Structure 1
Amino acid sequence: MKIFMLPSWYATEDKPLLGIFFTEQARALIRAGHQVYILYPDLRFRLYGLPTGIHSFAGDVPGYFDRCRSFTPFWEQGRWPQREWMLNRLYKLAVKQWGKPDLLHLQSCKMGIEALWLGQKYHLPLVYTEHFTGVMTSLKGPLRTQLRKTLEGASQAIAVSEELKLRMQEFRADTRYIPNMVDSSSFTPAKSQHSGFVFGTLCNLVARKRIDLLLRAFAAADLSNSFLCIGGDGPERRSLEKLAHALKIADRVIFCGRVSRADVCHFYQGCDCIVSTSDIETFGMTLIEALSCGIPILSTKSGGPESIVIPGQNGQLIPCNDEKSLKNGLIQMASYKFDKHHLRADCIARFGEKAVVAQITAVYQQAVRRYKWE
C-alpha cells in the first residue's frame, strides 16, 4: 500500500532524535513492501534562524516538511487552520511526486483535527495511532477535543499500550493495542562481560522521570561493586548531580550526557539492568530496546511498561513514587539471573518488526475495506 504518514512531531535538523520511532516504523513498513512518505507541518513558536518553507527530508524515508512560524503561538485552536493549510500544500506536492495514497496514517491526536480535515477533503481513510503522554495525564481543554474528534472520525484507532487503550476507549470502544516495534538487528546482546553490576537509565532529565527517586533508592540499597549510569540530558541534570554528591554516591554514579542514536545500543550493552522510574509513560521504547539486547528491566507501573514487563520473566514492576519498593527492586535485580537469549527472543516475538508490521498491515487492509464499503 501507499501510505502518507502524518506525525504530530518529527525529527528535524535541530532535533534529530524527535519522534525517532516514527522513522523506524516507516522504515519497517517500507521493508515489508509498503510505500511510505512523511508529511510534516513543522509549525514553530520561534524559528531560531531555521529555513522556512517546504523542504524534502534528507534521510532514507522520503517525504516533505513545511516550516512556518505560528500566527497564534498561544492559542491551540488557532493553529489548526494554519496546519491544515500546510498539510494541504504538502499533500498536493506529494501526490504530484508519488501519486495518490491508499490511506493516511496519523501519529498522535495532537494533529488529529487537521488530519481528519485532509482525509475528508481527499476522501481517504485515516488510521490513527496514539503515543502522547498527555492523553494519560491532562485530558482536558483542546487536547480532549482533539482526542475525542480524532477517535470519532478515524477509520481505525490504535494505542501503543494497554493502559493507553483504556483511556482512549472512553471515546471509542474498538480502539486496539499494537505496540511500538524494536529494530532487533540494531539492538543485540553484548559479546563481552564487564565487572561489577551496572544499573542504567536513559531518558530526558525532567522531573516526571523521577531520577531523584532513583538516586535516593540506589544510595539506600548500598550494593557493593554496583554502579548507576544515567544517559540523557535536561533541566534537572545539575540538581541531580548535586543530589548524587549529597548522598555520597557520586563516585558510583556516571552522568553520561546525551547519548547519540548510534551509541544507544552500546549504552544498553554496558548495563546489567535498565531502570525506569517515571511517573507516567505511554509506552517505553528504551525498555524494548534493552530487552532486545538481553537486558532485564526494573520499572515503575507508569502505564506503558505494564504492557512490556512480565514480572519474574523479563524484569520486575514496582509502584510509582515508592523509594522503599525501588530500593528492594534494585537489590533483587542485582541478585537475579536472567537468560539474555530468552529475553531477546521473547522481545522479538512481541515487539519485533515482523510481528508488529503484520498487525499494522492488517489494520491498513481493514481501514481501506471499511472505507470503500462506507
Structure 2
Amino acid sequence: MTAVALVASSFLPRTGGVEEHVLHVARRLHAAGHRVAVWAVDQEDEGTPSVLDGGIPVRYLPAPLPARNVSSLLSFARSSPRAWRAWRTAFRADRPDVLHVHCYGPQGPWTHALARRTGTPLVVTGHGETFGDAHDVFGTSALLRSALRRSLADARAVTACSSYVLADLEARFGLASGSGTVVPNGIDLDEPGGPRPAWLPQRYVLAIGRAVRTKGFDLLLEAFARADLPDDVRLVIGGDGPEVEALRAQAEHAGIADRTVLPGRLSRPEVVTAVSGALALVAPSRVEGFGIVVLEGWRAGVPVVVTSRGGPPEFVDDGRTGLLVDPEDVEALARAVERVVGDRELARDLGAAGRAEAAAYSWERVAEDYAALYP
C-alpha cells in the first residue's frame, strides 16, 4: 500500500468543495489500507484539527511566496528557512511515497520543491482554481503561473475534476494534450442531516456556496425577482464570503428582501437538511470546474438547475438529470426556476433521475481512481 500526503490549499475548519474533497479522499484511502496524511497551508482559524478519525495526521505548514517588491523579498528571505524546516519535518514524520497537491496555490511550489529535493513522485489535481479563484490569483501572480507550469511538467500524473479544467491547464499552463486524467468529485450517499434550522422557510429555492462573484448568486437574485412564483416561495442562499452584504442590499433594492434568506455559512448537517427540503437547488455559477453542489441535490432527489458554463454539462444530462442554463441569461434562469417549482411532475422526474445518477459518484470510486495513479 502507498503512503500519501494530500497537500491542500485549504482544509478544516474551513468549508468548501476542496476541503470536502480532501477530507473524504483521505478517509477512503485510509480505509483501503493506505497510509495517509493531510498537509495544508497554515491558517489562523481556530479549531484546526491535528488528527482525523482513524489517526490520520493533519499538519498546517507555512507557504510564503515572494512578491516583486523589496519588502516582500526581504520578508520571504527571513521566513523561508523556517518554512523549509517545517516541510522537511512533516516529510520525515509521514514518509510519503507520493505528494499529491490539491487545488494549486501557495502550497504548490513548496510541494514541488520538496518532491524534487527528496525524489518523491508528484501528483497534481486541479479543482478549477486557475479560473475560479475569487481573487484571480493566477491572473495576478506570474510566480504562481510559472510554478504551476513547472509542476505540471514534472508531475507523475495530473488529474482534474472535469475535462473543462484539464482543457484550461492545457491551453494556459502547458499541460501536454491528452496527458491528464479526469477524476470527478464524489458524494457521501449516507451523510446524515441535522434538526431543521429555525431560519429555514417551509417552501424555498436553495443555493449553497461561498458568496463570491464567480458563484453567480447575484444573477440568481435577479432571476428570482423576475420569476413568476407563488408568494410563499422563498430564496435561500447559504454561505459566507465577501459578497454577502452586497447580496443583502441587492435583495432590498429588488423588493424581495422579505423573501430572501441569507443565513451565512452552513454546517454539514444543515446543508444536508436544507437540500433535502428544497423545491429546487440552483447552481448559477459564472464558471464552475465541476459543481459538487449538484451531487448534493442528486443525493436528496431534488431537481437541480445548473450553470452551463464549465464542467457541469459533462455530467448533467439536460432535461433528464437537471436543467442546464446560462446564468448570464437571467431571463432564461428565471424561466428554469419557474419550471421546476411550478411543474411538480418535471421536478419529480428530474429528482428521481438525479438520485439514481448519484450512486456513480461515491468517494470510494474517487479514492480508487487516485490510488491507481500512485506508485
TM, length-normalised to structure 1: 0.82
Indicate the residue corresponding to 2:259 in structure 1: 252
- Deviation of residue 262 (structure 1)? 2.9
Task: Map 1:227-242 to 2 at 5 A.
Answer: 227-242=234-249
SS where residue 320 of structure 2 aligns? coil
- Deviation of residue 16 (structure 1)? 5.9
Alpha carbons 2:216, 2:327 under 8 Å: kept: no
Match of 1:201 among 204, 207, 210: 207
- Deviation of residue 152 (structure 1)? 0.3
Count of residue correspondences: 350
CA-atom RMSD in angstroms: 3.3
Asked if 1:353 is matched to 2:363, the reply is yes
Indicate the residue corresponding to 1:316 in structure 2: 323
SS where residue 5 of structure 1 aligns? strand
Match of 2:52 among 31, 50, 59: 59
Asked if 1:363 is matched to 2:373, the reply is yes
Task: Map 1:68-217 to 2 at 5 A.
Answer: 70=64, 72=66, 86=83, 89-95=86-92, 97-98=93-94, 100-110=95-105, 111-135=107-131, 139-140=138-139, 141-170=142-171, 171=174, 172-173=176-177, 174-186=179-191, 197-217=203-223
- Deviation of residue 260 (structure 1)? 1.5
CA distance in 1, matches of 2:181, 2:336: 32
Alpha carbons 2:7, 2:100 under 8 Å: kept: yes
CA distance in 1, matches of 2:362, 2:305: 21
Indicate the residue corresponding to 2:36 in structure 1: 36
Alpha carbons 2:12, 2:49 under 8 Å: kept: no
SS where residue 259 of structure 1 aligns? coil
Pick which of 148-157 and 218-227 moved more: 218-227
SS where residue 338 of structure 1 aligns? helix
CA distance in 2, matches of 1:71, 1:355: 35
CA distance in 2, matches of 1:178, 1:81: 39
Indicate the residue corresponding to 1:372 in structure 2: none
Task: Map 1:246-325 to 2 at 5 A.
Answer: 246-325=253-332
- Deviation of residue 9 (structure 1)? 2.2
Asked if 1:337 is matched to 2:352, the reply is no
Q: What amino acid maps onto 2:362 in structure 1?
A: G
Pick which of 222-231 and 146-155 moved more: 222-231
Once the two structures are superposed, residues 184-208 of structure 1 have per-residue CA deviations (whole angstroms, 9 ceiling, x without a partner) of 12168x9xxx997521001222233
Structure 1 unpaired stretches of 5+: 369-374
Q: What amino acid maps onto 1:38 in structure 2?
A: V
Query: Alignment identity in percent?
Result: 26
CA distance in 1, matches of 2:77, 2:310: 29
Indicate the residue corresponding to 2:226 in structure 1: 220
SS where residue 201 of structure 1 aligns? strand
Asked if 1:25 is matched to 2:31, the reply is no
Question: 1:81–1:213: structure 2 CA closer, same or farther, 3 Å change rule?
Answer: same
Q: What amino acid maps onto 1:107 in structure 2?
A: H
TM, length-normalised to structure 2: 0.82
